[in-house]
Amino acid sequence: MQPMPIALEFILLAAIWGASFLLMKLGAADFGPFLTAFLRVLLASVFLLPLLIWRGQLDALKKNYKPILIVGMLNSGIPFALFGFAVLHITTGLTSILNATTPLWGALVAWIWLRDKPAALRILGLIIGFAGVAALAWGKASFKPDAAISGGLFDSAGWAVLAALTATLCYGIAASYTKKYLQGVPPLASATGSQIGAALLLAIPGLSTLPAQMPGAKAWLAIALLAFFCTAVAYVMYFRIIERAGPARAVAVTFLIPVFGVAYGALLLSEAITLTMIVCGAVIVLGTALSTGVLKRPAA
């Protein structure tokens, strides 16, 4: 059987990950952010572990379990809970645009931690990207509790934006940690172990926030799709793209995710698409492309 064309697989992965924000919102509305994140990684682990055993990579997980579990906390546990909180207070489209800052944080953390100093053009990309983030977040900077939600201390758009950006910072830290401590570890072992690590981290906060009433079928379906497609299947696809096209091209999937995230929110949740979102999103994507080296200065 011929493998799927890389371009098609690339677009499909962006479409799947773009849907994760919509599904998180549908799940978190009934389950809450912590339980949504816990069920997501727990079910993904159930799917990935048999695949890991079948591929004969269980020993790789056992030998590297400590750093893999830490990566799971940074790359899944904390970010999934933070995004689950964010989508309850801001639109899924805006959240998906903020998610596009992940490579910016990755480049900045690698510069500070790994001393991987970027070239001048990539530094310019960081400046442009974060300027776009500042402009996008400016209108959402209020930390005043929103009475329309619950009026709680953290129920505001400002906290939601901060949560989303903290989640992407965690992704950036996880990328450098992976590069430093998990070189040569099979991707499937890292993916499976990271979901297990995230499940261990989220077990107590997730199970301590059980809803008073049993969520409906729509919420359960959202959780199932989020776990199996947006987490387990998406991770396998992502690591396969890395193997086929290399990490530099694989990270470019981040550029397409906001397109699908904004479209899903507008079509299925009737979320507004503003000119500010479009312009600032384009600026963020431009900065990300420059900071990751996807866009380079033409050769003389």
79 domain residue, yes or no: yes
226 domain residue, yes or no: yes
121 domain residue, yes or no: yes
Q: pTM of this prediction?
A: 0.89
Mean pLDDT by 10 residues, the chain (300 residues): 72 92 95 96 95 94 94 94 94 90 86 84 86 78 54 71 93 88 86 94 95 93 95 83 67 81 92 88 85 67
90 domain residue, yes or no: yes
300 domain residue, yes or no: no
Please give the Cα distance from 74 to 272 (Å, whole number): 31
299 domain residue, yes or no: no
Please give the Cα distance from 149 to 141 (Å, whole number): 17
176 domain residue, yes or no: yes
Q: Count Cα atoms within 13 angstroms, Cβ side, for 265.
A: 26
Structure tokens at 259: 């397109």
Is 165 within 8 Å of 209 (Cβ atoms)?
no
Instruction: Name the 3-class secondary structure at 170.
Output: helix
Structural domain for 180, as ranges? 6-291
Domain count, the chain: 1
Burial of 207 (0-12, 13-18, 19+ CB in 10 A): exposed
297 domain residue, yes or no: no
Listed residue (173, 179, 186) closest to 243, CA to CA: 186
